[in-house]
Amino acid sequence: MNIYVCIKQVPDTETKIKLNADQNGIDTTGIKWIVSPYDELAIEEALRLRDKNPGSTATVVSAGPVRVVEAMRTALAMGADSAIHVDLPESADNNWVAKSIAGALKKESKFDVIFTGKEAIDDGAAQVSQLVAEYLGIPSVTVVLGTEYLPSGVRCKREIEGGSFEMVEASFPLLIAAQKGLNEPRYASLPNIMKAKKKEVKTLKPSDVGTSEADQKIRYKNFQLPPPKQAGKKISGDPAAQAKELVRLLHEEAKVV
């Protein structure tokens, strides 16, 4: 099987975000970058499927600036066989990214299964996986919690609203977007981290995959950081007095009752 996994490099959740001078994005100086956690689930699922099917390969794909290669090395250290990087600017939107990834995959001889995370934790847009599938003309199943591989395709357990689940069957080739609970991602061992430095990372330009800046549909401006949280209030007195004061504050200050 030819297995591919799409990943995104995102700021670490503990990073303190600052805006750039133009307020059209974040200041990337000094940011610690990581593989988006949902994409780690996708990597793990790709590796497990490869290992169950002798002769299969797992290739990681990402689109973005040169720094994303670091995240791809993480996936290679986890066990992926090779990587494809499409060199796009920092400002590339979801459509340009998805079309570029699809273009890179079309250049490959064949793809059977493509894994992604259900969303990236930086923008939470949950668009790229479905756009990639649309550009490739293949089915996609999102928010997947469980998989059962069949001779002709996959039976997926996916999460829907209200705490319910549904089972969806799709034939190969297809795209699966992973949700938390699908598996437990492995850690990269030191020997594999060293081996990852020697694994192939093929870099493509937008022109190589049939895309250009004209494929960018969205441009952001006037970013604003959330206002600082106000200090909390401590209500003193006996329980009856505290309850009376709490009701007054909710009514007169918070204006919620």
Taking the domains of the chain in order of start, what are their residue ranges?
2-215, 227-257
φ/ψ of 117, rounded to 5, equals: -80, 160
Query: Residue written as tokens 């290669």?
Result: 69
pLDDT values of the chain reduced to their tens digit, one per residue, 257 residues: 999 999 999 999 888 888 888 888 888 888 899 999 999 999 999 999 999 999 999 999 999 999 999 999 999 999 999 999 999 998 899 999 999 999 999 999 899 999 999 999 988 899 999 999 999 999 999 999 999 999 989 999 998 888 889 999 999 999 999 999 999 999 988 888 998 988 989 999 999 999 999 999 988 888 888 888 878 888 988 999 999 999 998 988 888 87
pTM of this structure: 0.85
154 has which bridge partners? 149, 170
Judge whether 140 and 32 are in contact, CB under 8 Å.
no
Cα dihedral angle (166, 169, 172, 173), rounded to 10 degrees? -30
In order of 40, 99, 170, 214, 238, the CA distances from 217 in angstroms are: 28, 12, 30, 8, 59
202 has which bridge partners? 84
2-215 is a CATH 3.40.50.150 domain:
no
- The number of beta carbons lying within 10 Å of the beta carbon of residue 104 is 25
As a whole number of angstroms, the distance between CA 61 and CA 233 comes to 50
As a whole number of angstroms, the distance between CA 74 and CA 154 comes to 27
What angle, 0 to 180 degrees and rounded to 10, lies between the N-to-C axes of helices 68-78 and 37-52? 40
